[in-house]
Each structure stands twice: as structure tokens, then as C-alpha cells.
Structure 1
Amino acid sequence: MELGITTGLGKQRSKTETLSGGAVLARMLAAEGVDTVFGIIDGTYFGLYSSFEANGIRLVTPRHETSAVHMAGAYARATGKLGVCIASNGPGVANALPGVAVEQGEGNRVLLITSSRRTGITHPDRGGTYQQFDHVAVTRPMCKWAESARAHDRIAELAREAFRKSWAGRPGVVHLDVPEDLMNGKGPAPAFHEPGAYRRATPLAVDDDLVTRAADLLVEGSHPLVHAGSGVLHAGASAELERVAEILRAPVTTSWAARGAIREDSELAVPMVHVELNNTVRNEADVVLLIGTRVGETDWWGK
């Protein structure tokens, strides 16, 4: 007799239900609200893309894997969702690397799912394996998190960790690599959960006392300045930025990546192309409100 088990998504599954690793990922992507995936397909992740339609996910195919990563980054920025792209083992992953570097630098929330050669010949690699290199070893220094599943029953666990890392802290790229035999081969279906069961699903609450202290400093300053980074664009907070600047009557400078965070025809905007004026305004400020910025090299590291 088969026993029915209620999953975290409110669906019944049988104890004997089996799914390919790709089908597991597709169902979890759908639960995360992903409706579009970008990438160039091949047989190594047939189990993944063959499960897209049943989970309401469409596949958009570019001409190059770098483009797929950038499309996922643009999707993430435009929708506020997780951007997802795929790349196949070896050359496909190599082609994706420039996109990974850029999207990580831009702070776009992207999940890269890659396939790799079957576990029996790559862990450890016998040498001379066709279209094979250690994908994770290459991407790990370039992104927020990277890991490879080595067993079918680890796929759901590592996918949850990828989602958790993706939504924590500054947005960037996370990478999950799944060998082709696990991607396409079937195993026992895992328990599926709503995203809120394994990651934060609501924004962090602000500390009212700290907000009050910051407001007092700005109001008491003689020459307050607001400096905005690309986090303002990610949050869709341009209107709020401009309102704060108007209340303070404070000039607004931006990082290079945040151009457009405030209307450049605003009387309070100091467009970043006017380098000397930016330097003057920043040097004269006695209190600065930094919003959504790391204050990097192009901001003179805050000097």
C-alpha cells in the first residue's frame, strides 16, 4: 500500500514517487515564483528543461551563455524576482563566466544552474574527460556561493541553500552545479516546502531608534549630502530618495552604477559626469547619508 504524504506546498505525494533531479529543481523554482529561465539547452539537463512547462516556466534561448546570464540579471532587476540562467558542462559554463563576473559586480540576484559530467568519471576526475573542468572551483571566487550536488538526495537541500544565500544580504550570483546523471536520473522525491520555511520571505524591519538618530544628524548638519548607489535602483526607491533630498534641501550625488536614481534635471541632482563639482560638494559636506552603496573606488572610497 502506498501512503500519501502532504508536502509543504500542500500537495499529496506518494512514498514511492520518484523525480529526476531536474524535475526537483523545476518544482522548487516555480515555488520561488520563477516563471522564466534563460539559457541554451543540451541533453545534459533534459530532466530540468523538460519539466519547465508543467511548472509554468518558459525557456528563453539566447545565442550565447554570457547573454543568458545578463538576461537573467536584467530580469531580476526589472521584476524584483530571482533571475535564473542555465549553462551546460564545459564550454557552456566557460562562456557564462564573463556574465557571472559582471552580474555579481552589478549586484543582480541571479541563480546559475549548470550541468556537469556524470559523477562516476568526475569525482574525482579521471583526466581527459570530454568537456569537463571543475566548474565550482572557477565560479566560487566570482560569486556569493557555489556548490555541486554529489548525490540525488542533496539536490533539494543545496537548492534551498542557494535560494537562501541569494536572498540574504547584497544581491549577487549564486551557482548550483548538478552532474548530468543526477539531473536526468530519478530518485525519491524530496519534501517540498514554501520558500518562507527555509529563507527570509519578508524584508528586514528597520530599527526606528537608528532611523531617528540618523534623521537628527541630517537635520542638525549645516551641509548635508545624500549619496545614492545602485541599491536605490534595485529597490525602486527613486521617489523616496528625491523626497528625502527635498526635505533636507540636500544635494544628491550617485555612484556610476546609480545614474538615474534621481532625475538629473532636479535642482538637487549633481550628475556624476561633473567630476569636479561632485568632489567639491562631497568635500564640503559635514554629514552624509549613504543609501544603497558600498562607497567604492569610483566614489574615492568615501574620502
Structure 2
Amino acid sequence: MTVKVYERILQLFEAEGIDTIFGIPDPNFVHMFHLAEERGWKVVAPHHEESAGFMAEAVSRMTGKAAVCVGTLGPGMANLAGAIMCAKVENSPVVFLGGQRARITEQRVRRGRIQFVQQAGLFENSVKYSASIEYADQTDEIVREGLRRALSGTPGPVYIEYPSHVIQEELDVPPPLPPERYRLVGQTAGADAVAEAVRLIGAAEQPILLVGHGVHTARAAEPVKALADAMACPVVQTSGGTSYIRGLEDRTFPYGFSPSAVDAVVKSDLCLAIGTELGEPVHYGRGRHWLGNEANRKWILVEQDAAAIGVNRPIDVPLVGDLRAIVPQLVDALKDAPRKPSKELEGWIADDAARLAELAETAPTGMSPVHPARLVVEATKVFPADGIMVRDGGATTIFQWTYSQAKPHDVMWNQNFGHLGTGLPYAVGASVADGGNRPVMLVTGDSSFLFQIAELETAARLNLPLVCVVAVDYAWGLEVGVYKRTFGQGSSETGVHWSTDTRLDKVAEGFGCHGEYVERDEDIAPAVKRAFAAGRPAVVHVAVDPKANSEEMPSYAEFRTWYAEGMQ
């Protein structure tokens, strides 16, 4: 077939099941955007390229596939830099396409060139692969290499650039190859390693499953549920893996924030870790809560990157490959050797349920402005059971770790990199990936929300079922707390406060969204329900107490242990 380069790029992505593209089109991309829409793609143009990158990352997390985002040459790619770095740290396989002027522009010995900078070198350290389609007939090999690198080993972003003189050239090419013809797909573990893992599982008295972010971004909930059932054990969430697997909600406990999780970890004699790098938020699997029974605990790690084995802690049985292939191997090998439930599992389940109920009962009430703990309780109590939860913010997210009453099956937040302002773009991208079918709730702080607030118009234009619950204290709440702890009460708090006249519900209405303003506890849940019933994106502005937001963050001491370098 004879096709233009831009059409071939779309074909190569379609072979990987990709059907969504984000970005702000420029002359390099208008042909691609136009053709993508004709071919039935979802084409989303937000108001800022960084938002486009976050939206693409959200699509990747929701689909388990690579995602695509484009940036115009020069300033567009500069705007994408933050999203590229996030995708790298969050292990998200996003293909970033960058426009560029014709190569002759780069080779000229000239000054004062407009909208031009040598881009590839700027991104090399933030991506797994950086390349340029210099000649039209390189299109297949470079795009495939980008997808191969993005999806192999530890997933991550890649950057592919094409100069303007290449995009319109024609190619005479065969139909695109399916993924399994040019990259490794569904890598399984060796039979000997699987057998040894099964032996350790059978010998264990108190096994646990440690489930991380990768389980959910790989869309592997169903086989992991079968594995948890076969092991008859508790599930401990990492701070990045806070989605609940359907059917395991009652025996899934957040590491460090649930006493049941801590007790299960301390008493465990086997940890099977899936979809996690065993990083600082779980104390590398060898510090803090893991110390007490370290000598008696065996470790099985399912890991796609062989080079990661044994880096953060010794591993007894490494299972190297795609967790989507390895977990079914384990389930099949365990089917003839059913285990009895861990002897303390029922007690942990009861204790964790009691903990959540007590938190809902004891979160401070009757305050105006609202206590942030009560905001989280009231908002998450009415979270739709089939909804998608998105988190953003500093103090607001810390309150959510402890007080959330919801157990959503899809949770999205920027855990590893801690980049604020991802919440609204993540919510838009997740809803686009979902086809706008399920309700989406974003719980965020006001400072974080303001980063990308223009994307309310994008949500309104796409008519997404999105409700943004915003804790408003007119400050950088977590940073105010840092000032107080560093310099004492009453000290100057430079640069962390802003106008108390801003009404985010009114801003939302200006974008064509539904707005709600709340100052009392009892009005939160009704406002959230009205927002979901409004039939368009909505913002619920909740005035929260700034003193409580900066001084009473729960489990803050536990959070600080993540940074205890030299103590882990």
C-alpha cells in the first residue's frame, strides 16, 4: 500500500490497540489529527501540552497499553517536559511525538531562528528512547523501537521526533505487523522458578500479597484476584497501588496506614510482591515494619525488568516476565493445592472495617470552615461504587490516605513523582479512556487544582461525568505546616497564601460546568450528589479550616519515614 508517513504512524499505533491521541495540533500534526478522527480515533486537544501528557498517561493506566501524546515544535515540547518526567518516574509507557522544523534549519549556521531548539538531546535523560525519523523509510523501525522500549522491562516514556519535511512523504509498505511479530509479548517465568514459588507458598503459614501500582496499570486485577483466592491471604497495598480489586475489598489493607496491614506484614513468613519496585514508601521491603520477622520471611518477586531483581532487597524466588502472564502460571500451579485462610485473616478484616467506621464517626464535625478529615469522609461516603477515583494535592491527599471511606476499583494519582496539578488532566484522560461511561471523582486541594484549571473547559466540551471536590483553604496547606514546624507558630509564611475572594464554583460555571459552594459538614454529601446528577462536569468548592489542614495531617509521621534515607 502507498501511504503518507503520518498515516503509517497511525497504522503502527493501531496495531498496538491504540486509538486515542492528545495534543494541540500545529502544521506538523494537522494532517495526522484530521486523519485520526476520520479513522475513528478519539482526538482530544486540551489547553496545555502538559495536560495532554498527563491525559495520555491516564489512558495508559486505564488500558494497560501504550498511549500517544503530541507536542508542537519548540514551546509545545517545552510544555510537555513536566509530563515526560512524570511518565518516566511513574513508569508509564507514553509515546511523545514531537514536531520539528526541516532538518536544513538545524544545519544552517544562522542566528535568530524562530520557534526552534534542538529537542532530542533535551529529553534523552527523561525517556527510555529518543529518536528522530530522518528518512521516511525509517518510520516503521523507529516507531516499533519506540513501542518496544516503552513496553519492555520497566515501562516508561519514549520520544520520537519528525522534521516537517518528512511527514508528507509517501511510503510503499505492507500491512503493519502485530506486536508479537516484532517485540516480546506475554513473557512467562521458567517452570523451575514457578515450582519453587509454589513450594514456598505451600510451606508458608502467614503469606501476604504485596500489590503495587503495576497490577492496576497492567489491568491484571482478575488473575491477581484468583491468586489471592488460591493463597487465601491478605492483600497489602503499596501507596501507589491503592485501587481495590473487585472481590478483595474486605481483605485489602493499605501499607503503613492500616494496623491490619502492619500486623500482617510483621507476622508474615512469605511476601509475594507484584507490580511494585519495593521502593521508599514500603521501606524497600526491609526496613520499619519488615524488620521484626526478617529472618523468617521468604520473598517472591514478580518483576518485568531482570536488572531490578535484588536491588532494593534480596529475593528468594524471582519470577521475571510480564505479570499478566506469570500470575496465571501461579494460579494454575496452585489449583490442586488449595490453602486454608491465614489464621488471623478474619480478625484483620474485622479490625480494618472497625477502623474505617471509627474514622467516619470520629472525624471532627460541626466546624465551619469544614475540617479536611470530615470533607474526605463525607465526600467518599457518596462515591459511586463503579466510579473512578482521582487524587491530587499535598495535605488533601494525606487526609485521603487515612479517612477515605471508598474502596474504588480504579484509583489514579501521581504517587512516585509527587507532581501537583495532575489530578484534573488524569481525570479527563481516565474518563476519555473509559468512554465517559463511569462517574469520576477528583478529590484535590485548591492550589493543585489551579495548575490546570483550564481543562474544565475540556471536560465540559467532552461532557464527561466528572465531579471535582476541592478542599479550599486559600493556601499551600502542606507547606504552611512546614513553615510552622520549622519556624514556630506565628512566623512569617512567605509565598504560601492567596486570595480568599476566589470562588472555584463560580469559575467552573464560567467554563460551562456545574458549581456548588459548601461551608458545612452536612452539606457536602448532598452537594456531591447534586453535582453527579447535573449531567455535566462539576466543581464542589468546600471551604476547609486552614489551621487543621496545615497542622493535623493524619499519619504524617509515617509519611515522613518514606524519606528517611540512611535509616532504611
Is the TM value for this pair above 0.5?
yes
One-letter code aligned to 1:111: V
**Which residue of 56, 63, 79 corresponds with 1:95?**
79
Q: Which residue of 1 aligns with 2:188?
A: 205
Which of 115, 138, 142 lines up with 2:99 in the alignment? 115
For structure 2, list consecutive stretches of 5 or more residues without a partner in the other structure. Answer: 287-568
Q: Tell me, what secondary structure is at the counterpart of 2:205?
A: coil
What CA distance in whole angstroms lies between the structure 2 residues aligned with 1:105 and 1:85?
Answer: 17
The corresponding residue for 1:27 is 11
Paired amino acid for 1:178: Y
Distance in structure 1 (CA, Å) of the matches to 2:258 and 2:184: 40
Quote the residue 2:467 is aligned against: none
Matches within 5 A, 1:227-242: 227-242=210-225
Q: Which residue of 1 aligns with 2:487?
A: none
Tell me if the contact between 1:232 and 1:261 (Cα under 8 Å) persists in the aligned partners.
Answer: no
Instruction: Tell me, in whole angstroms, the C-alpha distance in 2 between the residues paired with 1:161 and 1:265.
Output: 38
Distance 1:288 1:88 in 2: 46
**1:193 counterpart = 2:188:** no
TM-score by length of 1: 0.83
Identify the residue that residue 35 of structure 2 maps to in structure 1: 51
SS in 2 for 1:44: coil
Q: Would you say the 8 A contact 1:263–1:269 is kept in 2?
A: no
The C-alpha deviation readout for 1:41-83, integer Å capped at 9, x for no partner, is: 0112234223324443342111111111121122222223331
Higher mean C-alpha displacement, 62-71 vs 125-134: 125-134
1:296 aligns with 2:262: no
C-alpha change, 1:239 and 1:152, in structure 2 (3 Å) is closer
Q: In structure 1, list runs of 5 or more residues that go unmatched.
A: 1-12
State whether residues 83 and 110 of structure 1, in contact with CA within 8 Å, keep that contact through their aligned partners in structure 2: yes
Q: Which moved more, 1:203-212 or 1:70-79?
A: 203-212
Aligned to 2:254, the other structure's residue is in SS state coil
Pick aligned residue for 2:48 from 64, 67, 82:
64
Offset, 1:84: 1.0
Distance 1:284 1:218 in 2: 15
**Residues 28 and 99 in structure 2, CA contact (< 8 A), matched pair in contact too:** yes
Cα distance in 1 for partners of 2:184, 2:130 equals 22
Distance in 1 separating the partners of 2:151 and 2:21: 18
| 1:17-58 deviation per Cα after TM superposition (whole angstroms, max 9, x unaligned) | 4x4432321232233332221110011223422332444334
Structure 1 residue 251, shift from structure 2 partner = 2.9
Q: Residue type of the partner of 2:88?
A: Q
Residue identity opposite 1:301 in structure 2 = Y
1:132 aligns to what? Answer: 116
Which residue of structure 1 lines up, in the alignment, with residue 60 of structure 2?
A: 76
> Please, which moves more after superposition, 224-233 or 24-33?
24-33
Question: 1:255 is matched with which residue?
Answer: 238
TM-score after normalising by structure 2: 0.46
**How far apart are the structure 2 equivalents of 1:34 and 1:126?**
40
How big is the shift at 1:267?
Answer: 4.8
Residue in structure 2 matching 1:217, options 200, 203, 218: 200
Contact 1:147–1:177 (Cα < 8 Å) also in 2: yes
Q: The residue matched to 1:227 in structure 2 has which SS?
A: strand
Report % sequence identity: 26
User: Size of the alignment, in residue pairs?
Assistant: 286
Deviation larger for 85-94 or 68-77: 68-77
Match of 1:4 in 2: none
- 1:229 Cα shift? 0.9
Quote the RMSD (CA, aligned, Å). Answer: 2.7
Q: Give the distance between the partners of 2:109 and 2:138, measured in 1 at CA.
A: 20
Q: Deviations over 1:137-156 (max 9, x none)?
A: 12221122121122222223
Q: 1:264 to 1:141 in 2, by over 3 A?
A: farther
Question: Which residue matches 1:171?
Answer: 155
Of stretches 136-145 and 52-61 in structure 1, the one that deviates more from structure 2 is 52-61
Which residue pairs with 1:269 in the alignment? Answer: 252
Moved more, 165-174 or 65-74: 165-174
Offset, 1:192:
4.1
Q: Give the counterpart letter for 2:29 in structure 1.
A: Y
Structure 2 CA distance for partners of 1:259 and 1:49, relative to 1, 3 Å = same
Alpha-carbon distance change, 135 to 207 in structure 1, aligned in 2, over 3 angstroms: same
* Contact map agreement 1:164 1:200 (CA 8 A) in 2: yes
CA separation of 1:223 and 1:122: change in aligned 2, threshold 3 A:
same
Aligned to 1:147, the other structure's residue is in SS state strand
1:259 is paired with a residue whose SS is: coil
Structure number with higher relative contact order (C-alpha < 8 Å, ≥ 6 residues apart): 1
Q: Which 10-residue stretch deviates more, 191-200 or 262-271?
A: 262-271
Are the structure 2 counterparts of residues 125 and 131 from structure 1 closer, same or farther at C-alpha, using a change threshold of 3 Å?
farther
Q: 1:143 to 1:153 in 2, by over 3 A?
A: same
Residue in structure 1 matched with residue 139 of structure 2 by the alignment: 155
CA gap of 1:125–1:46, structure 2 versus 1, over 3 A, is farther
1:147 aligned partner, one-letter code: A
Cα separation, 2, equivalents of 1:252 and 1:258: 11
Give per-residue Cα distances to partners, 1:182-211, cap 9 Å, x unaligned.
12x324434443224642374123333322
Shift of 1:275: 6.5
Change (3 A) 1:193 1:115: same
* Aligned counterparts of 2:62 and 2:69: Cα–Cα separation in 1: 15
Q: How much does 1:290 deviate?
A: 0.8
Asked if the contact 1:218–1:288 (Cα under 8 Å) also holds between the matched residues in 2, the reply is no
Larger Rg: 2
Q: Give the Cα separation in 2 of the matches to 1:150 and 1:123.
A: 13
Deviation of residue 283 (structure 1)?
3.9
Distance 1:131 1:139 in 2: 17
Alpha-carbon distance change, 302 to 28 in structure 1, aligned in 2, over 3 angstroms: same
* Partner Cα separation in structure 2 for residue 247 and residue 188 of structure 1: 52
CA distance in 2 between partners of 1:69 and 1:167 (Å): 17
CA shift for structure 1 position 268: 3.1
| Aligned positions of 1:272-287 closer than 5 A | 272=255, 274=257, 278-287=261-270
- Shift in CA distance, 238/188, structure 1 to aligned 2, threshold 3 Å: closer
